[in-house]
Structure 1
């Protein structure tokens, strides 16, 4: 099973409650959903993108094969390949939702909330 991760602020995720799909706030600008593969890279991305974020942060744990929209691995500015989801994320591909916790300025994956 191939797992990918998608970070989302808790307050924004809650606005998608009851819907069958999910789109991030920046989807219209970016044209895809940012995701990562591997927990180590997930932590690095969380530290970089959410370095000044003070609210609660979730990570969606997604089974890549269940995603209905196209997934393309593309090289980012850091030279690494990241999975990009080109369309809405169907929620039945989400295996679980976990909290992210910040300790000493670094994010890590915490307990499951679903």
Structure 2
């Protein structure tokens, strides 16, 4: 499974499309989702974590360096096209901890 962060206002939706100016939808895996969450959304309390089944995408998925790339850093799954709602197999609340940073929700960490 791969993971995608959305706001509560952005879900549900028929599909998730790349952000303006991007050619892919940014995603993460369970071990890296805290990195973009902390960098882009620190302290936000209106987030959900979508669990996406890559086999249901119907568009290319590529593992690539982050954006911006971190030398020697982790690679992230990038979805080159829209993610259909039918590919979302789980929706999890994604609140920050008391210090404003994020951890993988317990429901996903137990897998």
- Which band: TM-score by shorter chain? 0.7 to 0.9
CA RMSD of aligned residues (A): 2.0
Divergent runs of 4+, >3 A:
none
TM-score, normalised with respect to structure 1: 0.77
Structure 1 counterpart SS, 2:32: helix
- Partner SS, residue 47 of structure 1: helix
TM-score by length of 2: 0.79
Q: How many residues align?
A: 102
In structure 1, runs of 5+ residues without a counterpart are: none
Q: Retained in 2: the 8 A contact 1:75–1:81?
A: yes
2:10 aligns to what? 12
Structure richer in strand, relative to its length: 1
Aligned pair 1:97/2:95, yes or no? no
Does structure 1 retain, via aligned residues, the 8 Å contact 2:32–2:74? Answer: no
- For the pair 1:45 / 2:36, whether they are aligned, the reply is yes
Report the CA distance shift for 1:110/1:99 in structure 2 as closer, same or farther (over 3 A). Answer: farther
